[in-house]
Chains A and B, each alone.
Chain A
Amino acid sequence: MENNKLKESFKKLEAIVKWFDEQKEIDVEAGLEKVKEGSVLIKESKKRLKALENEFESVKKEIAKEI
């Protein structure tokens, strides 16, 4: 997942939450689809965040080495 994809994922996730908020009568099937979509996005985002965190830690170490 690219960096901007993470941003996109957040947008999509927020749209899903908004969708739930806007429903007066929740269509359970449509809701489940949204939750499924949301869980995939959350999983991917968590993975990406972890990767970014790892990358960041290694950059931090590199900087510490250079100075």
Chain B
Amino acid sequence: MDQKLLSQLKEWRKTTAQKEGVELFRVFPNKTIESIAQIKPQNKEELIEIKGIKEKKFCKYGEDILNMIKGNEPIIKEEEIEKPYTVSSYLNLLNDSLRQIKGRIQGEVTELDIRSSYLFFSLKDQKDESILRCFMWRKDYELCGISLIEGSEIITNGVSEIYKPSGRLSFRASTIELVGEGALKKAYEKLKEKLKEEGLFAAEKKKVLPEFVQRIGLITSSNGAVIHDFLNNLGKYGYKIKFQDSRVEGQIAVSDLTFAIDYFANQKIDVLIIIRGGGSLESLQAFNNEALVRKIANFNVPVICGIGHDKDVPLASLCSDLMVSTPTAVAIVLNKSWEQAINTIQKLERDILDKYQNILIIQKHRLEIIANDLISKFDFIFKKFDFIKSRINDAFISLSYKLEQKNKDLDQFSTIIFKDLKGYFEYIGNYLNNAEQKLRTINPLRQLELGYSIVSFQNKIVKSIKSLKKDDKIDVRLKDGKLNAQINKIIK
């Protein structure tokens, strides 16, 4: 971007606006001015391509702009030189210039008039009693957290302007603060007592910090070493930091701090951190501002204040959920739970691994015991079986021995028997031979062959004549057959 052209365009816009008695943006908004300085259009077509410039604007200002781009001064028409300012446009011109002159003014408060939405007071120079009339919005006054009374020595920040309806110059105060350690200390002690009575510092009111903070809302100044001290000491634990740049010095910081706290009220954060380096009561007075302190006390997530201080602890710190005295200490607090967690995890890991390893060893051992037990049980079965087998074997041996014995007995017995039997048979044979001989001798049939006969009557052998009588029919057996005969006569 052509910076020289940009400032030239801005200057031109200012003059033009003043002449026309309009606001700057009515001529051209900043963006359009910047686009012109960036693109540097060379003709009408290129110029009206830029957002915010149409035919009407081109007719009005196009020529001036193209001239400036080409390095020429804008053409100032003669009638315009002679044209007088209107009262209003002149006052606008003055006010624009006055706005550039920011003032930090010390004086004594007089003519105090507090209305519902604004207040007037005058500041009197203690030396020559010069007077500066001041105007302040009530909300800005309340934000400052002090009570003005006539005669107070104060310092105010702001700019002057001429109030167009009255034409009077008035100083628009944006902040006011009490002057001197004594006054500040008094106000500090008074507010401290009041807040303490309300219980804003009570331990039971403190919110507990989340154990593992991740989302951090950070309020501090982007300038200076504090933010670097904080960030350098913050461990690498995946923190997500949202940052709001804020002035932290003096009363003027209140509005920045308030804005930043309000911003974080709608953000998803685990903790709000407010840090700044050490300073005097005067430089820390924003942190003793009642409205700000109340915002901190009522904030929806825990607030940690790391505000350096001398003797008097800032009320913001007292109201916060945790206060430490340096930004580095805040970082250490945040890191602590993570560091502990890592240590705990490492310990737990060791414990779990050891315990599980033990379980595995125990189970393996148990299995071995069971297996050995089962093997011994099975061995026992076989041993028992072997025992039974050996007993059976013994029984067989004994049986076979007995059988052998019996065999032997039997053999012996048969020898005896056969030996005896032979004699017996011989004896029988002889006996039978004798008997046969005898039988043969006594066989009646042999007698028949010798001529004898056998008489039988009624199947009985007749041995005597007495057993017969006359006419009995008798059977007579001869050698070669039988004959029947009848008794004729019995001869005695």
Q: How many residues of A contact B (CB 8 A)?
A: 24
Q: Taking the nearest CB of chain B, how far is it from the CB of A5, in angstroms?
A: 13
Q: Is B240 an interface residue (CB 8 A)?
A: no
Q: Mark A14-34, 1 if CB is under 8 A from B, else 0.
A: 101100100000101001100
B381 touches A32 (CB 8 A): yes
B366 touches A10 (CB 8 A): yes
Q: In the assembled complex, which residues on chain B have CB atoms less than 8 Å from the CB atom of A17?
A: 370, 373-374, 377
A67 touches B360 (CB 8 A): no
A42 to B372, CA, bound (A): 11
Q: Mark B354-379, 1 if CB is under 8 A from A, else 0.
A: 00110010011011001101100110
Residue of A whose beta carbon sits closest to that of B375: A35
Q: In the assembled complex, which residues on chain A have CB atoms less than 8 Å from the CB atom of B384?
A: 26, 28
A14 to B4, CA, bound (A): 95
Chain B, interface size category, equals 20 to 34
A53 to B346, CA, bound (A): 21
If the complex has contacts A49-B360, A56-B357, are A28 and B385 also in contact, measured as CB distance less than 8 A?
yes
If the complex has contacts A42-B367, A42-B371, A49-B363, are A67 and B377 also in contact, measured as CB distance less than 8 A?
no
Residue of A whose beta carbon sits closest to that of B370: A13
A60 to B380, CA, bound (A): 43
A39 to B381, CA, bound (A): 16
In the A-B complex, list the 9 residue pairs whose CB atoms are closest, starting with the nearest: A20-B377, A38-B374, A35-B378, A13-B370, A42-B371, A31-B381, A17-B373, A28-B381, A45-B367
21 residue pairs of the A-B complex, CB under 8 angstroms, read: A10-B363, A10-B370, A13-B367, A17-B377, A20-B373, A20-B377, A26-B384, A28-B381, A28-B384, A31-B378, A31-B381, A32-B378, A35-B374, A35-B378, A38-B371, A46-B367, A49-B364, A49-B367, A56-B360, A60-B353, A67-B346
Residues of A within 8 A of B (CB): 6, 10, 13-14, 16-17, 20, 26, 28, 31-32, 35, 38-39, 42, 45-46, 49, 52-53, 56, 60, 63, 67
Residues of B within 8 A of A (CB): 345-346, 349, 353, 356-357, 360, 363-364, 366-367, 370-371, 373-374, 377-378, 380-381, 384-385
